Amino acid sequence: MNLIVTETSLPDVLILEPKVYGDNRGFFFESFNAREFEALTGVSTPFVQDNHSMSRKGVLRGMHYQIQHAQGKLVRVISGEVFDVAVDLRKSSSTFGKWVGVHMSADNKRQLWVPPGFAHGFLVLSETAEFLYKTTDYWYPEHERSVVWNDPTIAIEWPLAGIEPTLAAKDAAAAALASAEVFV
């Protein structure tokens, strides 16, 4: 297998680390293989959309989810470094309201599987970062929701080092977990 899978403190959220083949010319790795992904994760789902963003240092994007047409996301960084976070928004889950954060970079080539039912976001730690992710459903703006990034009941430990994050207006106005629409 060309992929190492590591469980996180939220058992459904998985860190995937590809085997990288490198020499004096550079490197090669398989960033996605549907058969291997299914064999190692048990997740058999087609990805229908790829997204690519570039953000500057201190930008915090999230915590986003779709209340209908919930998206699973396979995320990775191709340039720079981010602190990536998933929050369980499944009310029936024993880990409801819990979060996990993973440092991801172009150097460590980690990927994170964020299943449907979780909010997702990231903070850019490098001067810039390019972020790629595959989704299991299309984006429907009318179903998009956000939980505020600094909700005290979730208490995400963002590595801010004294800086105020740069937020989109919709992220700054996001709902607290107590009043957010969540999954059953």
Positions marked catalytic: 64, 133
The span from the CA of 18 to the CA of 29, in Å, is 7
Q: Which residues contact 5 (CB under 8 A, 6 or more apart)?
A: 14, 15, 16, 17, 40, 41
The span from the CA of 25 to the CA of 162, in Å, is 40
Token pair for 5: 């899978």
Cα 109 → chain centroid: 14
